Structures are given as structure tokens and as C-alpha cells.
């Protein structure tokens, strides 16, 4: 008899704990839901890439380190490292708000596709921290969304999307991208 009762109590306790567990999980997933119409932070910046072309060592902000010609019509295999200034306006001589540090390589034989991984490094009075971006960049498309996979400092643990628009291309020497940054998780 006593055994029966304690079994019953045990069962009740167990289902109570399972219920609490379920509830806390539900609460957590509700808190995580994000409103894609309302980023928690929104910035627009301009990134400037000045390619090294044998006579501009002092001025260059990017260099092809492997396979300068690439394979086929779309530079397949060409690999570029960069440390590019990022400014508030379109003038590449403006005071940078961040630097874009990373690399891309062309990885399609049928179209220009620059697969990129880089970090926006902020070290100013307004912002200190990093945003890391990693994604495919099909550069012939008018706009491209790339994933912001994380951050540090002012952007600790963030996630979001950066939309690239090519502002200007000057041959192989210079290009400027508009970066429309929307963060959906801010802490
Ligand atoms: C640096 O590069 C920019 C953009 O291509 C160019 O307009 C400028 O003349 C260059 N400056 C020097 C000192 O080479
Ligand atoms: C950030 O800026 C401060 C102040 O200008 C400077 O002392 C520091 O070295 C900078 N840090 C990096 C990582 O550039």
C-alpha cells in the first residue's frame, strides 16, 4: 500500500518536472523569435577595395595571393586578401569607421562568384567590436544578402544580414560596395 502511494507521488513529481521543462523550453523559443521587419540595429557603410597592381604598393588595400589569372572566364580559383577601409560616405578618403579584413576567392566556373569571409573591425568612439560575415557573393546580381554570423564588443553574439550593392567599379583597380547592415539579435 505504502509502496503504491510513493509510486504515485513519484509519478506526479516526474510529470510536474517534465511540464516545467516543456514550459521553460517554450518560453525560451518564444523569446528567440525575431521580427524581420525591425532590425535591432541598422547601418549603411561603404567599403573601398583598391587592388594591388604592381605600381601602387602604398595605396593598395587588397592583393591577389594565389592564381592571379584564375581558370576560365570567371577567374575560378583566384584568391584575394584584403584590409579595406569602410566609411560612412562614398569618399574613400573619408575617415574610416571600420576596416574590412578578410579574403574572398572566385569559386564558380559559370559566373563570377566571390565566396567571402571577413570581419568588420570597429575601433572608434562610436563603435568598438567586430562583425563577422561569411557567405557566397554572386557579384553579378544587383544586390546580395550575406550572413552576419557573429560579433564581439558592441556587437556581442549578434546575427544579421548585410546587403551588398556594387556602387562603382573602375576596371581591376578599384571597387566600392554599399553595405546595408541589419542586425536581428542584439544583446
Ligand atoms: C590611390 O588610389 C585611388 C583610387 O584608385 C586613386 O584615385 C589615387 O590617385 C591613388 N593615390 C595614389 C597616391 O596612388
Ligand atoms: C584602437 O584605437 C585606440 C585609440 O585610437 C588605439 O590605441 C588602439 O591601438 C586601437 N586598437 C586597434 C586594435 O587598432
57 Cα: distance to centroid of ligand 2 (angstroms): 24
Mean pLDDT score, 60-79: 94
Q: What is the fold of 41-185? A: AOC barrel-like (2.40.480)
48 Cα: distance to centroid of ligand 2 (angstroms): 21
Task: Verify whether ligand 1 is closer than 6 Å to residue 174 (CB atom).
Answer: yes
pLDDT value for 68: 87
Nearest residue (CA) to ligand 1, atom 14: 59
pLDDT value for 170: 94
Task: Verify whether ligand 1 is closer than 6 Å to residue 173 (CB atom).
Answer: yes
Task: Verify whether ligand 1 is closer than 6 Å to residue 53 (CB atom).
Answer: no
Q: Which ligand is nearest to the CA of 58?
A: 1
Q: In the predicted model, is pLDDT for residue 4 greater than 90?
A: no
123 Cα: distance to centroid of ligand 2 (angstroms): 6
> pLDDT > 70: what percent of the chain?
85
pLDDT value for 36: 85
pLDDT value for 173: 93
Task: Verify whether ligand 1 is closer than 6 Å to residue 103 (CB atom).
Answer: no
By C-alpha distance, which of 60, 63, 147 is closest to 102? Answer: 63
Q: In the predicted model, is pLDDT for residue 101 greater than 80?
A: yes
Cα distance between residue 125 and residue 95, in whole Å: 13
Q: Could you write out the DSSP letters of every residue in 1-60? A: -HHHHHHHHHHHHHHHHHHHHHHHHHHHHHHH---TTS-SEEEEEEEEEEB--SS-TTT-
Encode pLDDT of 5-40 as tens digits: 667 766 776 676 666 556 555 555 555 677 888 999
Task: Verify whether ligand 1 is closer than 6 Å to residue 109 (CB atom).
Answer: no
Higher-scoring residue by pLDDT: 103, 35:
103
Where in the chain are the domains? 1-33, 41-185
Pocket test for ligand 1, best of 51, 56, 61, 173 (most atoms within 8 A of CB): 56
Encode pLDDT of 145-184 as tens digits: 999 999 999 999 999 999 999 999 998 899 999 999 999 9
103 Cα: distance to centroid of ligand 1 (angstroms): 22
pLDDT value for 122: 98
148 Cα: distance to centroid of ligand 1 (angstroms): 30
Question: Is the full-model pTM beyond 0.85?
Answer: no
Q: Which residues contact 149 (CB under 8 A, 6 or more apart)?
A: 132, 133, 134, 159
pLDDT value for 25: 57
Report the length, in residues, of the chain.
Answer: 187
Mean pLDDT score, 126-130: 95
Amino acid at each position: 500500500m505504502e509502496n503504491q502511494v510513493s509510486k504515485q507521488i513519484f509519478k506526479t513529481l516526474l510529470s510536474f518536472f517534465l511540464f516545467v521543462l516543456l514550459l521553460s523550453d517554450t518560453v525560451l523559443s518564444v523569446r528567440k523569435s525575431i521580427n524581420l521587419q525591425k532590425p535591432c540595429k541598422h547601418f549603411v557603410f561603404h567599403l573601398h577595395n583598391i587592388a594591388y597592381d604592381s605600381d601602387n604598393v602604398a595605396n593598395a588595400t587588397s592583393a591577389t595571393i594565389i592564381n592571379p589569372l584564375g581558370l576560365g572566364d570567371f577567374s575560378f580559383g583566384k584568391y584575394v586578401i584584403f584590409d579595406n577601409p569602410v566609411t560612412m560616405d562614398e569618399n574613400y578618403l573619408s575617415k574610416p569607421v571600420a576596416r574590412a579584413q578578410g579574403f574572398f576567392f572566385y569559386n564558380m566556373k559559370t559566373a563570377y562568384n566571390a565566396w567571402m569571409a571577413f570581419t568588420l573591425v570597429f575601433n572608434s568612439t562610436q563603435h568598438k567590436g567586430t562583425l563577422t560575415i561569411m557567405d557566397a557573393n554572386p557579384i553579378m546580381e544587383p544586390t546580395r544578402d550575406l550572413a552576419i554570423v557573429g560579433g564581439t564588443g558592441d556587437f556581442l553574439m549578434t546575427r544579421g544580414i548585410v546587403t551588398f550593392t556594387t556602387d562603382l567599379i573602375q576596371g581591376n583597380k578599384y571597387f566600392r560596395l554599399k553595405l546595408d547592415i541589419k542586425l536581428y539579435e542584439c544583446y
